[in-house]
Structure 1
């Protein structure tokens, strides 16, 4: 029987790696993007050789984003990987009402609403897996990233609560909390700043997108069949 996975934020480096990993495991895919259609089209062309791959577009930072996304799904979803990484950096006093609303929608309300939509089929099938991509800052908090820390901490609490609610239905819910990962999002850092960061990480380097994808692949596989409600830190012992 065909299995389908929905991956949000699939146009970024981590999302692409997650998609490639799940395709290698035989999942047919719905890969979501907001603006970077070209990146997802390129990914689709690569993955179409192995599995079904469908593009879905929606702005999940807006109130109608989830509705726009789910109307593009034409099959039941067996695995949800919610991977949206937008951040806001600055003092809490500088956060605008619009930024607060959009970040809360993107990181809390939208995943909540997508899960609500996908659950009836998972419950009927008595199986399914949800993996949220959280952040090290959702566990430890970060100065000048209070809003981002808050919403990622909320994701962690959602995972713990939802896992208890859905366990009797055979559905597992977990999160992966990356530390600093080598992606295009971090290209604004100078070489000196990157060196200082790597010196601060006990393993001595940034993580790789494939290492985050490997953790996701493990969490949706049978190898983790007794793991649910967990926040798996992938951070090289940074801020442990």
Structure 2
């Protein structure tokens, strides 16, 4: 069992989640939750441990409450949660609202919103000083889509991220007296698999609208997340931090 508080990342096997795991492992033992790609998750764990860090990977479907509860029971055996990053999410594919499939829509909200709420609930039950915990930090992965709306592409996805923004603001106030800070990071166009769902022309047009003139990197997002989770941000809660190149 780890003596240091654990840094738990949902959807930590690739992209932004993996970058957060690698960066967080410089100061914390890391737990990665992943859904399917055990090989990728283990690869992140191996990389961390090769660099003298400590990490574990636990399989958990964010859309399955029972799987999440089992994952948190496994986390309890590893140590105390100090940080939860709600990073896991799906887009549900590109679609105009008029063409949305209701089952797919339900799945996107189940993973991106309900799953994040359940993971947060379990973390709060363990962190809250009112419940005997030692406090902690929650960082929600929102998106610039919550501000821009993602018309013609991802309005459904953007709506789930709008929910994460509201959750962040409300929960930060709810937990301020219980030793828990709650913040969110809102990435813009980041060079990961998520944005590769767009066509090359669409992505190029979108990237050209960014004031800084380029896509961001997963490492740049990870730096923001780890800072918000650190003592350096001890007076920061309820923050929706934009990491989107000025867009």
Shared fold by TM > 0.5?
Answer: yes
For residue 193 of structure 2, the aligned residue among 184, 187, 190 is 184
- 1:196 corresponds to which residue? 205
Change (3 A) 1:102 1:62: farther
| Other-structure match for 1:48 | 49
Q: How far apart, CA to CA, are the structure 2 residues paired with 1:163 and 1:186? A: 29
Which runs of no fewer than 5 residues in structure 1 stay unpaired? none
Q: Give the 5 Å matches for 1:153-164.
A: 153-164=162-173
TM-score scaled by structure 1?
A: 0.92
The count of residues paired between Structure 1 and Structure 2 equals 237
- How big is the shift at 1:188? 4.4
Partner of 1:129: 137
Deviations 1:173-225 (A, max 9, x none): 00000000011333344554443233211100000000000000110111111
CA RMSD, 1 decimal: 1.6
Aligned to 2:228: 219
Residue 140 of structure 1 deviates from its aligned partner by 2.6
What secondary structure does 2:90 align onto?
coil
Normalised TM-score (structure 2): 0.90
Structure 2 vs 1, CA of residues 101 and 64 (structure 1 numbering), >3 Å: closer, same or farther?
Answer: farther
Residue of structure 2 equivalent to 1:27: 28
Distance in 2 (CA, whole Å) between partners of 1:33 and 1:126 is 26
Q: Distance in 2 between matches of 1:190 and 1:99?
A: 21
Deviation at 1:111, TM superposition (A): 1.3
Q: Please give the alpha-carbon distance, in whole angstroms, between the structure 2 residues aligned to 1:162 and 1:132.
A: 11
1:113 matched residue in structure 2: 118
Shift of 1:37: 1.1
* Structure 2 CA distance for aligned equivalents of residues 203 and 167 of structure 1: 35
Secondary structure of the residue aligned to 1:125 is coil
Alignment CA distance shift 1:70-1:169 (3 Å): same
In structure 2, the CA distance between the partners of 1:100 and 1:68, relative to structure 1 (3 Å rule), is farther
